[in-house]
Copies of this chain bind each other. A is one copy, B any other.
Amino acid sequence: MAFSFTEENYIKAIYKLGEMHHDAISTNDIAAKLATRAATVTDMLKRLSDKKLITYQRYHGVKLTEKGRKTALAVIRKHRLWEVFLVEKLKFRWDEVHDIAEQLEHIHSDELIRKLDQFLGKPKFDPHGDPIPDEKGVMRLSSSTRLSDANKKGRYILTGVIDHSTLFLRYLSDLKLKLGDELEVQAINEYDQSYKVMINKKHPEFLSKQVVTNILVQAIK
């Protein structure tokens, strides 16, 4: 039961779309996510349905089967473990690893992933703070919230990011902000929802609404 590069990408896209709105996923959404055409997606949905990875009703979108969900989580597990490897061992920056992990996630070898996991010390989170599913496809759900949702003064730990773009990650790095750092919210501007924060008790910064919406934190104490 090994799937193609392309099939795995469709399954992963469907899984990720399903994380938000967990009703059936539309053809158009999948096409947008994969930068392909709706007609192409329809073709593929038939094939994925034949392989029992999704349930598909013409004109009414698709859902992952249990088998599909397992497959998606296995690919996500591989992606995130490889990202840890690239950052921790090869010293890539967190904004450089996505494209390489996109390729590595499709290498087929259970033993490889078992040993890689071991080598990395069985990490629970990737370099962006995303949880890594275990061998069984179990992924602990995040107890983090967007900083914009915390919405009150106090001290927080940066635990993850939502936007994974190079531009955003570089911006955070430029602010000397990385996972595990402390953010003390000193003021929230009611007009534009920008935050005034102190980073690691050292330097004050202004974070726009867009930025605080894309940052995941846990309150301290």
Contact = CB atoms under 8 A, between A and B. Distances in A.
A149 B100 CA distance: 44
Interface string A84-102: 0010011110001001100
A112 interface: yes
Contacts of A100: 107, 109, 112
Number of copies: 2
Contacts of A99: 109
Contact of A115 (B90, B109, B116): B90
A65 interface: no
Interface string A184-214: 0000000000000000000000000000000
Contacts of A91: 115, 119
Nearest to A107: B103
19 contacts: A86-B112, A89-B119, A90-B115, A90-B116, A90-B118, A91-B115, A91-B119, A92-B111, A92-B115, A96-B111, A99-B109, A100-B107, A100-B109, A100-B112, A103-B107, A103-B108, A103-B109, A104-B104, A104-B107
Interface of A: 86, 89-92, 96, 99-100, 103-104, 107-109, 111-112, 115-116, 118-119
